[in-house]
Structure 1
Amino acid sequence: MRSPIDLPVSPMLAKAVPTVPAADSVTGGLSFEPKWDGFRAIISFDGEDVEIGSRGSKPLTRYFPELTEVLAHSLPSPCVIDGEIIVRRPSGAGERLDWEALSQRIHPAESRIRLLSQQTPASFVAFDLLAVGDEGLLDHPFSERRARLESLAATLPAPLHLTQVTTDVETARRWLVEFEGAGLDGVVAKPLAATYQPGKRTMLKIKHHREADVVVIGYRMHKSGTGVGSLLLGLYDDGQLRGVGGSSAFSDARRLELIDELAPYVLRDPDGAAVTGEGDRSRFASNKDVSFVRLEPRLVMQVRYDQMEGSRFRHTVQFERWRPDRDPVSCTFEQLEVPADYDLDEVLR
């Protein structure tokens, strides 16, 4: 059966706002839901076969055979669903999201994919319905799309889930605090009257923002070959300096300025050449140059971050200011706020 909407679909996106907003006369009412920290996925089912597209329209179908199998057997009719692929792992409170295990699912070897589909099986959380049967729903308001999604998903078994929603702003603000303990990313607000607008930032997202003082341990050159592309950051753990992530998004002028500012701190070998290191390679860009220039651990900067994934910042952090008053050795993991554990199963119910 041919889809009633053009595929692949570019997912509707969200713009960041600082706090959970209350509905007003402009929005005409808001629906709030948890912000899942996984792979955004558009599920297309033609009645026989399932295709999974990513946010960048990259096919994900081959990486999640356990999902394509259950989706093909469980979806009651042809449809196109927007949602998130997640992986769960045991935690102190029950379960939480596991980004590291999820990222490992992107692997070139078919045998490895099959093994991981058994060892770290994925789940799918549905949060929007773009088409059902021969009817496209992109021009329908979210309130209607959500109602139709609830009807379609009523009998879906685990590992297929329907995300929670609420129109109560106080409940959403409580979710923002509690659900972080299960590994979630924040809260999303959707105007109830809004149509689905592919690629547009129509939704609102509210994420955690915290500050930390970190040691600058190196830098990578910008992909253009000119200036600093990103700063590598570290924190002390029992006297040992450990890498925790990076900071980027500098202007062209600032990238050039940083080269000169960081020059006095560059580690050099006996011949005066800059000492370099090799960072971790991404599964999504394995050919990317990950070498970096090492710096003496003397510079401290304050950054803004949202959450940690294990011992690293989950996302690229934002530069706030230099902290010449801080002793680098005093920049430890102890300064980081640790959210209280929360059982992911409670979020999925």
Structure 2
Amino acid sequence: MAERPSGMTLPITPPVEPMLAKAVDGLPEAPGMTYEPKWDGFRCIIFRDGDEVELGSRTEKPMNRYFPDVVAQVLEQFPKRCIIDCELVVIRREEGKLPRLDFELLGQRIHPAASRVKMLAETTPADIIAFDILALGDDDLMKQPYQQRRELLFKTLNGVRPPIHLTPITTDAEVARRWFTEFEGAGLDGLIAKPADMLYEPGKRLMFKVKHARTADAVVCGFRYHKSGPIVGSLLLGLYDDEGVLHHVGVSSSFSLARRKELLDEIEPYRNPKDHPWADWAEQATTGGSQRMPGAVSRWTGKKDLSFEPLSPELVVEVGYDAMEGDRFRHTAQFKRWRPDREPQSCRYDQLERPLKLSVDAVLETSG
């Protein structure tokens, strides 16, 4: 772990646990409620005291070594003594395509090799989206209402240049509803709603988040055992492309202990298939290939065993998901129900709702 700066004299001492948001089904409305995009990146509380900077993660561990480019931008553009709540994102920019957030590229920034970190900082630099301020100079602002903190943040960072940005905000619920639909096309996750009188309370879920929710029918192609014993840990999900190739698209894994035991009985008739479309996953994991397989080495855990128990691809399940990251579910899918009425071959990518495309630059230039 990176060492913390020893000479900081800010009114709040790192680390600080970020304030969180609780999920709600609909857009909350109240006098003075502020709405802003929910950015899909790494939460980061940035501390600057003169020449010393700390990038605090959601787990309260410093991230300085992974983001030297962010440290450089903070030293260049942030006030000399401040604590600012941000999201670190990576924007994929390719010729002929609209810029959009790319969480996979961002995740690659977490790498143990210093040479790799240096290369990635140059080739996939992070952008900084600022949305709250906890301290400025000698003033602790956490007990001030959010509306006052927001006004001070925008005044303090007025004139910053990319890759530092102020998050777009609006107090108009109708504008927020439009943003909810439009901004997804740039890779954003939904909306955050903040009450005007909200204090900054670390770890408390005082904000609200509204995320996109959808369902899809997927083929159950395998499972992994739970760490606690011979019960189901996760179900491996697949979808067919237009060529009839079955791709691994994610997992469903949030089950009670009792349900995990039941699932093992329910999938028993489909175990030990004579043939399986992912039988060559081990070779794919070492040699690469265009088809997504479930046994590739984890970037986050290195040597973690990602082997699985194959199931005959006959079971269809309805799952809930919030968004896609390329050709897979962005987060763990939620088990809804078995679909014995569906044929596995009908579980195709074309059932998925795809948002309209939008440049992330257009989002950053938006105002309410």
TM-score (norm 1): 0.94
Structure 1 position 321 matched with structure 2 position 337: yes
Show the 5 A alignment for 1:237-252.
237=241, 238-252=243-257
1 CA distance for matches of 2:105 and 2:236?
Answer: 23
Q: Following superposition of structure 1 onto structure 2, how do residues 91-130 of structure 1 map, counting pairs within 5 Å?
A: 94-130=98-134
Using the alignment, how far apart are the partners of 2:153 and 2:347 within structure 1? 47
Match of 2:82 in 1: 79
Counterpart code for 2:16: V
Identity %: 55
- Please give the residue correspondences for 1:147-186 in structure 2 after superposition, counting only pairs within 5 Å: 147-186=151-190
Q: Which residue does 1:19 correspond to in 2?
A: 26
- Among candidates 23, 31, 36, match of residue 33 of structure 1: 36
- Indicate whether 1:263 and 2:268 are aligned: yes
Matched, 1:298 2:303: no
Shift of 1:54: 1.1
Hey, what's the Cα distance between the residues in 1 that align with 2:34 and 2:302?
Answer: 39
Contact 1:268 1:275 in 2 (8 A): no
User: What secondary structure sits across from 1:117 in the alignment?
Assistant: helix
* Distance in 1 separating the partners of 2:251 and 2:57: 25
**Matched residues in 2 for 1:257 and 1:230: separation?**
13
Post-superposition CA distance 1:51-94 (Å, at most 9, x none):
11111112211111111011112112211111100011136663
Q: Distance in 2 between matches of 1:329 and 1:269?
A: 19
The 3-state SS of whatever aligns with 1:10 is coil
Tell me if structure 1 keeps the 8 A contact 2:281–2:295: no
User: C-alpha displacement at 1:260, in angstroms?
Assistant: 1.3
- After alignment, is 168-177 or 151-160 more displaced? 151-160
Q: Distance in 2 between matches of 1:5 and 1:173?
A: 36
The answer to whether the 8 Å contact 1:227/1:259 transfers is: yes
Q: Tell me the SS of whatever aligns to 1:67.
A: helix
Taking structure 2 as the reference length, what is the TM-score of the superposition? 0.89
Structure 1 range deviating more: 90-99 or 332-341? 90-99
1:228 to 214, 232, 244: 232
Matched, 1:204 2:215: no
Gaps of 5+ in 1: none
Contact 1:37/1:97 (8 A) holds in 2? yes
* Greater mean alpha carbon deviation, residues 280-289 or residues 205-214: 280-289
Partner of 2:59: 56
Match of 1:68 among 68, 71, 93: 71
Amino acid in structure 1 at the alignment position of 2:255: F
SS of the equivalent of 1:177 reads: helix
Change (3 A) 1:69 1:220: same
| Correspondent of 1:9 among 5, 13, 16 | 16
- CA distance in 2 between partners of 1:269 and 1:231 (Å): 19
Preserved contact between residue 64 and residue 71 of structure 2 (Cα < 8 Å): yes
Aligned residue pairs total: 342
Equivalent-residue separation in structure 1 for 2:129 and 2:141 (angstroms): 19
- Residue 74 of structure 1 aligns to which amino acid in structure 2? Q
Q: Compute the displacement of 1:288 (Å).
A: 3.5
Distance 2:186 2:209 in 1: 18
Mean CA deviation greater in 188-197 or 67-76: 67-76
Question: Displacement of 1:279 after TM fit?
Answer: 2.2
Change (3 A) 1:29 1:36: same
- Give the Cα–Cα distance (whole angstroms) in 2 for the partners of residues 164 and 275 of structure 1: 47
Flag structure 2 segments of 5+ consecutive residues without an equivalent. 1-7, 283-293
* 1:217-254 Cα deviation digits (max 9, x unpaired): 11111122241111110001111110000111100100
**Contact in 1 for aligned 2:15/2:61 (Cα 8 Å):** no
Does the residue aligned with 1:297 lie in a helix, a strand or coil?
strand
Aligned equivalents of 1:276, 1:155: Cα separation in 2: 51
The CA RMSD over aligned residues, in Å, is 1.9
| Cα distance between partner residues in 2 of 1:267 and 1:124 | 49
C-alpha distance in 1 between matches for 2:99 and 2:226: 39
Cα deviation, 1:106-142, whole Å, max 9, x if unaligned, reads 1111111111111111101001101111111111111
- Asked whether the equivalents of residues 275 and 293 of structure 1 are also in contact (C-alpha less than 8 Å), the reply is no
CA 1:95–1:2 in 2, change beyond 3 Å: closer, same or farther? Answer: same
Q: Which amino acid aligns with 1:294?
A: P
Task: Show the counterpart of 1:310.
Answer: 326
Contact 2:253 2:334 in 1 (8 A): yes
